[in-house]
Amino acid sequence: MELREKPGLPKALIGLAARLPWWLGLALAAISYLGLQHLTQKPVPAGLQPGQMGSFLMSTLSWALATVGQYLLPLFFGLAALLSAFRRGKAARLHAAAARSQDALDRMSWQDFEILVGEHFRREGFGVTDNGGGGADGGVDVVLRQGNKTYLVQCKHWRALRVGVQPVRELYGVMAAHGASGGFVVTSGEFTEEALRFADGLALTLMTGKALRHSLQAQAGIGPASIEDNDLSVPDCPACGAPMVLRQARGGSTPGKQFWGCSRYAQGHCRATREVD
C-alpha cells in the first residue's frame, strides 16, 4: 500500500474548490472579479475626520482587500475550474481504460482508483464528492448523495491482499455515527470470508474488482466481463439488471453458503438474490 501525503493549505483550498463543477468555478471567477472591482470604484475617504477613525480604517482596509482580491479570487476560482475540468477528463479516461483492460485497473495508483470509483458512481446517478483520501474521517474516500440520502464509500486498491473485516467494521461505524443510509467498500481485489459475513444483511455493499469492472463495462456498453482462470463471472441482477456481488449467508438453513446479492441492496432499491452456479 502507498503512503498518503497531506497537501499544503494552498493546494488543499484549490482542491476543495475543484470539487465544484468547472462551469461553476468559471462563474465564481467572473462574479468575484466584477463584484470586487465594483468595490474598488467606491471613493476612499480623503482624510481623517474627528470621531471617524473606525470608519476610516474599515473603508481603507476594504478598498485595499478589494484591490488585491479582484485579481487573486478570479485566479483562484479559474485554477479550480481548470483542475475540475482536468479531473473530469481524467475520470473519463480512467473509466474507459479500466473497462477495457484488467491490467489498467491493477496498475493505476490509489489516487486514480478513487477517481475511477467516483466516476463509476456518478454514472450510476449519484452526486459524488471526493473526500480527499480519507484520514480522520474514518477512511471515507468518497461521499455519495442521492436525493436526501447519503452513502459513504471506502476504496481499497489492494492488488495482493484480500480486504479483511476491520476496514468494513470501521466504515460501518462511521456510517452509524453520521446517519448514512448505506455504504460501499470497493476493492480492486477481493474480500475475506469474514468480511463478507460481517456485511451480510447490512446496508453495506462489498464490491470486488471483478464486480466493479463488470459494472464499468456495462456503463461503457462494451459487453460483459470475461471469465479468467475459471473464476466465477459476475451475473446481472434478475430483477433490476445491476451487477451482483458475492455474499455469504450468516444464518438460515445454509449458514456459510455463498450466494449472489444485488449491488443495489445497500441503497434499499433491490433485495434480489440468486444462487452461485
pLDDT digits (tens, 9 = 90+) for 13-38: 555 566 667 677 778 888 887 888 87
Supply the pLDDT for residue 230: 38
Q: How far apart are CA 7 and CA 15, in angstroms?
A: 9
Name the β-bridge partners of 39.
none
Query: 260 near 231, Cβ under 8 Å?
Result: no
Of 267, 270, 250, residue with least CA distance to 201: 250
Q: Which residues span the domain enclosing 144?
A: 109-275
One domain, residues 146 and 229 = yes
Query: What Cα–Cα distance (Å) separates residue 89 from each residue in 96, 107, 166, 226?
Result: 11, 19, 34, 27
Decide: helix, strand or coil at residue 248: strand
Which pLDDT value is given to residue 115? 92
125 and 228 inside one domain: yes
Whether residue 153 sits in one domain with residue 41? no
Q: Indicate whether 2 belongs to any domain.
A: no
Q: Flag whether 100 is in a domain.
A: no
- pLDDT of 173: 94
Q: Are 59 and 196 in the same domain?
A: no
Cell of 128: 459524488
Read off the pTM: 0.62
The sign of the dihedral angle between the CA atoms of 8, 9, 11, 12 is positive
Q: Amino acid identity, residue 43?
A: P
269 and 176 housed in the same domain: yes
- The domain total for the chain is 2
**Which residues of the chain are under the pLDDT cut of 50?**
1-6, 134-137, 225-232
pLDDT at residue 227, as a whole number? 36
